[in-house]
Amino acid sequence: MERVTLRNYRNGDANAVSRLFRKIYGDLYAQAHVYLPCMIDRNHAQGHWHSLVAVAENNVVGHAALIRAKDSRLAELALSVVDPQTRGQSIATRLGHHLLIHAQALGCRGVTIKQVTCHPYTQRMAAGLGFHNTGWLPDGVPSPHDASARESLVIGYLPIDGNRRPLPALAWPDSCRDFMQQMCSVFGTQERVAPWVGEPVHLEQRWDRYEGTFKALDSCLLKQLQELPVHWLISIRLRLAQGFDSACHVLTTAGFVFSGLAPDERGAGWLALFHRGAKPPSLTLICPQMQQLQDDLQLKLASVAQ
């Protein structure tokens, strides 16, 4: 078996990294930048990507990166790919472990990861690296294996260097109390709510889904959400703050399904996840909390179909 070593990304690696993604995913990978070597180099030059590569006999056989948005104290462990001929050597886990150490050196307060659900390997790797699963994105991105399908993703979060990200101490709705209490036991609670950063209302289209991020939900915004076309696949990220219990009730009544939490990349708080229009197949997930959220969605779909 060829000896595999890890090293930092270098100028000149872009073509090999791009070829590796094409070899594994053809033209179906959701992050378009991997198909343009010049964009790979540019992302590194601007400090958006911090990559490691795995090398065997001078060939790039693995890649993973920390992706950082501008002014964010969080990074995402992403763009993980390993040549099939060198799998079975825990290369992805080794790359992830070294990048988490690098995240500490970069001054990150936490790292997120999006785990695919079409197979268990990414979920196992995330658990082995110490990530805590907080939510899932049903029908989150186009499938990297089937152009006609969508891939659901599990969100994981790992605090770096002891940086806490507690949840606000709120009264949780009956529908998600067990889940929220589990999250509180992992991340802790605090009386104050983390300050909001950015616009109070944001909506964009991405990969044929509409993604909204909202500071608060009032009756006017709810009415406008209800009036959006029924065939739209909609994801909502709502600030976790006072009023969450009533917002959860009205969104559920309006056909949205709660699917957990995600850390707010722009601030120090949390966002509650809600979805409408997602119809993923029934999945078997490693994490029992994520499995329960997935089962809740399947029950909702079954009740609508009756």
* pLDDT class of 302 with cuts at 50, 70, 90: confident
In this model, does residue 14 exceed pLDDT 60?
yes
pLDDT tens, 33-44? 999 999 999 999
> Residue 220 contacts by C-beta under 8 Å, 6 or more apart in sequence?
none
pLDDT of residue 146: 85
Q: What is the pTM of this model?
A: 0.95
Q: What is the mean pLDDT of the chain?
A: 95
Mean pLDDT of 266-290: 95
In this model, does residue 278 exceed pLDDT 60?
yes
pLDDT of residue 1: 56
Mean pLDDT of 152-178: 96
d(CA 141, CA 292): 21
d(CA 199, CA 87): 44
pLDDT of residue 194: 94
pLDDT of residue 57: 92
Burial 143-152 (b: 16+ CB within 10 A, else e): bbeeeeebbb
* pLDDT class of 303 with cuts at 50, 70, 90: confident
pLDDT top residue among 306 and 38: 38
Phi, psi (rounded to 5 degrees) for 168: -70, 145
Mean pLDDT of 216-224: 95
pLDDT of residue 266: 92
* pLDDT class of 306 with cuts at 50, 70, 90: low
Residue pair 83/22 in contact (Cβ under 8 Å)? The answer is no
Residue pair 130/111 in contact (Cβ under 8 Å)? The answer is no
> Residue 139 contacts by C-beta under 8 Å, 6 or more apart in sequence?
150, 151, 152, 209, 233, 275, 277, 278, 279, 280
Domains delineated in the chain: 5-159 (3.40.630.30), 167-305 (no CATH)
